[in-house]
Amino acid sequence: MQIEEKLEVFRNFTIDEAKQKSDEMIAQFDRSCKQELEEFRQNKQAEMEHKIQIEERNIRRQVNSKVSGEMLRQKHILDECKRKWQVKLSDQVRLLLGEYQNTEEYKKYLIAKIHMAKKVAEQDPVIIYINPSDADKKTELEVLTKAELTVSKIDFGGGIRAVIRSRNILIDESFMTKLEQEETYL
């Protein structure tokens, strides 16, 4: 072979060798780029998921805060309505009690409560109080029950109160006490 042919063979061999190494380097670079791209994508995906979770938590906090605020506002409204309803109901009951105290049934009620107080006292002395608004009924009630009655200096809304000092017993059948007990249940 002549030098030119040898040079041509050497040149082709070198070009093929260089091309082969170049192809390997390009393939390695391509794999490296694809791997970096995949890692970048995974990192960005994880970062976005983390941001989404943080934002979701923030939104949930805001929603919970607004829901709590609205629930509190609704509770205040409900409590205010309940309070107004209780006042209105109490006023209505007091009005009806006032009307009831002018009836014959009320007199019968007082007589029954006076008899009950005497029965509880048995032979012990008992002080039976009637409301100041019932002072006009005192004489009639004493005759009908054969009990000595005392007009209270304190208005207790009607009914009776009785004290049996020897046994430290207070019998409270006053309307005011019964109303207060009922109002605590409302």
Q: Please give the residue that has the higher pLDDT: either 185 or 92.
A: 92
Nearest-angstrom CA–CA distance, 107 and 139: 12
The b/e string for 118-142 (b: 16+ C-beta within 10 A; e otherwise) is beebeeeebebbbbebbeebeeebe
- For 52, the token pair is 């989404």
pLDDT of 88 strictly over 80: yes
pLDDT band for 134, please (50, 70, 90 cuts). Answer: very high
The pLDDT of residue 7 is: 80
CA atoms within 13 A on the CB side of 15: 6
Q: 140-162, pLDDT tens digit by residue?
A: 999 999 999 999 999 988 999 99
Q: Which residue has the tokens 């109901």?
A: 89
Cα–Cα dist 97/49, whole Å: 69
CA dist 109 to 75, 102, 112, 124, 129, Å? 41, 12, 5, 23, 14
Its pTM stands at 0.60
Contact criterion met (CB below 8 Å) for 139 and 151: no
Q: What is the pLDDT of residue 38?
A: 93
- Residue 186 is predicted with a pLDDT of 61
* Non-local CB neighbours of 132 within 8 Å, separated by 6+ positions: 151, 152, 153, 154, 155
What does the pLDDT look like over 30-63, one tens digit per residue?
Answer: 999 999 999 999 999 999 999 999 999 999 999 9
Strand locations in 77-177 (E):
127-130, 149-151, 159-164, 169-174
**Cα separation, 172 vs 13, whole angstroms:** 123
pLDDT of residue 183 exceeding 80: no
- Residue 10's pLDDT is 83
Q: Which helix (H) or strand (E) holds 156?
A: none
**Distance from chain centroid for Cα 127:** 46
